[in-house]
């Protein structure tokens, strides 16, 4: 789901015109399908026709990101590689899997459709940073198990609005994923259908003048949109986040995408790691800025 506010230049224009000009990857076919299914809301009212919109109207469109944005060409940025794994620095606006994704581009990079390249985890489309890929099935099975057992440590940097009162904290909450809306909800207490999440953060620095902070985040559990939704839930939305953040704040800072980067992966194996034993205690990082 994406939230957008109608700009004054589209005042008294048709909804279709506004959406097609706002989302460069949106096709007419996808748009009409969304209208038929009432997957578009104007000021929280479901619409099924090409209505007139007005400046300031709040539009929500429940369409997958890959159908809203055109996929751009990009250069594969290999941060680390050996015979079993490859770690890529993912740019913004790129899905990890799917058509014209980081995975499909990586397969083309190795110049063979039969090459074994599988991601061991994912990042959101507009989250940048390190993605770990397995180059054979043995490595994939080991790494998936290591992620499940929390034997791989991932750190992120996020620019958030607000200054936490605690310089560091381990946050526990409960997350519910609404797959149809591509949206997650956070609760402070257990609820039916909600899964426990744990997010650890440390304040790296704060700017009182513009009321922002840079956080170092250790993702202890790895659920969909966990960092973005969890930080927004406690009152520190990531700047640029169009889904869980604040539109007015994003506009003020002029960021189009969430300022969130996966900058570090560390292998902390405590159980048998087979052919990947050599990776134990290895840390792979990119520039933290």
- 125 near 241, Cβ under 8 Å? no
124 is known as an active-site residue? yes
How far are the Cα atoms of 123, 148, 150, 154 from residue 219, in angstroms, in the given order?
12, 12, 10, 6
Q: Are 40 and 47 in contact (CB under 8 A)?
A: yes
Q: Which of 39, 65, 124, 241 is catalytic?
A: 124
Q: Read out DSSP for 97-164?
A: SSTTSHHHHHHHHTT-TTS--EESS---TT-EEEEEEESSHHHHHHHHHHHHTT-EEEEEEEEEES--
Beta bridge partners of 53: 13
* Three-state SS letters, 212-235: EEEEEEEECCCCCCHHHHHHHHCC
Exposed, middle or buried by CB within 10 Å (0-12, 13-18, 19+), for 250?
A: buried
Active site amino acids: 124
């Amino acid at each position: 789901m994406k939230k957008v506010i109608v700009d004054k230049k589209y005042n008294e224009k048709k909804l279709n015109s506004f959406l097609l000009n706002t989302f460069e990857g949106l096709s007419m076919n996808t748009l009409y399908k969304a209208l038929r299914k009432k997957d578009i809301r104007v000021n929280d009212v479901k619409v099924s026709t090409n209505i007139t919109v007005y400046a300031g109207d709040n539009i929500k469109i429940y369409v997958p990101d890959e159908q809203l944005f055109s996929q751009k060409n990009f250069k594969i940025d290999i941060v680390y590689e050996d015979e079993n794994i490859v770690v890529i620095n993912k740019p913004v606006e790129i899905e990890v899997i799917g058509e014209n994704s980081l995975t499909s581009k990586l397969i083309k990079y190795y110049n063979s459709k039969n090459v074994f390249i599988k991601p061991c985890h994912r990042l959101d489309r507009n989250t940048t940073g390190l993605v770990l890929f397995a180059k054979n099935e043995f490595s994939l099975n080991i790494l998936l198990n290591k992620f499940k057992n929390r034997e791989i440590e991932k750190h992120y940097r996020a620019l958030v609005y607000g200054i936490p009162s605690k310089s560091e904290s381990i946050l526990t909450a409960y997350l519910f994923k609404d797959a149809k809306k591509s949206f997650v909800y956070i609760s402070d207490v257990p609820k039916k259908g909600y899964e426990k999440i744990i997010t650890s953060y440390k304040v790296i620095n704060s700017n009182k003048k513009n009321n922002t902070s840079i956080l170092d985040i250790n993702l202890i559990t790895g659920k969909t949109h966990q960092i973005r939704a969890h930080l927004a839930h406690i009152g520190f939305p990531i700047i640029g986040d169009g889904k869980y953040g604040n539109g007015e704040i994003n506009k003020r800072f002029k960021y189009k995408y969430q300022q969130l980067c996966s900058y570090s992966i560390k292998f902390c194996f405590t159980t048998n790691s087979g052919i990947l034993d050599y990776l134990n205690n290895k840390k792979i990082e990119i520039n933290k800025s």
